[in-house]
Amino acid sequence: MFTGPLREEFDWTSTQALLPYVVLHAMIFIGTFGGGRLQDRFGPRPIALAGIVLYSVGVAAASLTSEPDQLWLLIVTYGVLGGLGLGLAYIVPPALLSKWFPEKRGLANGIAVGGFGGGALITGPIGEPLIEVFGSVPPVLGVLGVSYLVVGVIAALFLREPPEQDDGSDASDEDDEVHFSLSAALRTRQFYLLTTMFTLSVIVGNAFVSQASPIVQELSEVGAGTAAVLVGVVGIFNAVGRPAWATLSDKLGRMRTFQVLFPISALAFAGMVPAGELFLVVAVLSCIVVLNYGGTFGVMPSVAADFYGTANGGAIYGAMVIAWSLGGVIGPLGMAAIESATGSFAPALYGFAVIAVLAAVIPFVTKPPSAEQAEQDASAAR
């Protein structure tokens, strides 16, 4: 929404206008990794408050950008500060909800990260009118930053750990649940398989989301207005896919869910180019791609909790979120580079179909780590 207006307002190139977004994604991992570990130690509320304050200040401070040579300011405020704050705030709900709802982790986490995806459905409709009112992007960032601060702080104040039971355990404890430390999790091959799968999903999903409008315009030869409507619809599927696939994973199983999700994504990517001018077909395939992209975010927090327990869930899932940073940088820049080199999005779409196939292999060879691995780590710590 902001990239086009920023290009026009400051006479920036597409890459320049995209840089703050890319830097934000690069910084998210630092926020989630540090925030996850701090949450496990100090609880969810102070980390959520710190994250929302840092994110809101970063977005609001971006409103100070007023000249073409101040791209650095937008990168530092929106990109660096915003990315750090976003990572801190984002990691809290999935790590916390895995403790509150051990039997319905998929549903609970899906709703939480569905809210994250659904945020664009609110910002999108109000953002463009605000740009028209102010006549510029930076003041809109100021308004949004203050709004995020008010709503986010109120929400963060309600976060707390599950209550303890009479035996001293908390409501999330299950008799057969094994808890890994971060160091123990990092010594398992499953951690790297899951993170690789997550990264591949983010690469293809984020790349498509970042260029959805021009892709649809090229393939179906529709106007910018029609493409913009589809982008809005795609945003709905991004939000819905998170709780939908996550809820399904409670019944089907996490790995089986991915065994279904990724092949469908591969077929959707591969089918876009042959669909050609059939706009409705391209639109449906676009919605499927983004539905599945959102689904990965919905299921992964529960996978981390199932594999490694909830005692250090914030730190472990926070480490996995490096996939978001890697994919958020590689995907959009890779898509833009391929289009610039070939003059078409078609090669990238076929390439992403191959990447989705590679991601689909991983769930078939990934099983939960054994309890003995966690016990050995605990013994070594003692």
Q: Which domain holds residue 37?
A: 3-161+179-371
| Contact present, 99 and 161 (Cβ < 8 Å) | yes
217, part of any domain: yes
310, part of any domain: yes
CA-CA distances (angstroms) from residue 310 to 100, 179, 260? 10, 6, 26
41: buried, middle or exposed (CB in 10 Å: 19+, 13-18, 0-12)? exposed
Q: What is the pLDDT of residue 83?
A: 93
172, part of any domain: no
CA-CA distances (angstroms) from residue 104 to 169, 199, 247? 19, 25, 8
18, part of any domain: yes
Whole-model pTM: value is: 0.80
CA-CA distances (angstroms) from residue 78 to 30, 39, 48, 110, 369? 15, 24, 18, 26, 39
173, part of any domain: no
378, part of any domain: no
**pLDDT averaged over consecutive 10-residue blocks of the chain (382 residues)?**
81 83 87 86 91 96 91 94 93 86 84 79 78 88 94 93 65 63 91 95 90 85 78 85 90 93 95 87 93 91 89 85 87 85 90 95 92 60 48
DSSP 164-204: B-TTS-BTT--TT-----HHHHHTSHHHHHHHHHHHHHHHH
Interior angle at CA 188, CA 84 and CA 357, nearest 5:
75
| Contact present, 63 and 137 (Cβ < 8 Å) | no
Q: What is the pLDDT of residue 376?
A: 61
Task: Quote the CA–CA distance of 66 and 5 in Å, as a whole number.
Answer: 13
Look at the chain and report how many structural domains it folds into.
1
179: buried, middle or exposed (CB in 10 Å: 19+, 13-18, 0-12)? middle
CATH of the domain at 147: 1.20.1250.20
Q: What b/e string do you get for 277-300 counting C-beta neighbours within 10 Å, with b at 16 or more?
A: eebebbbebbbbbbbbbbbbbbbb
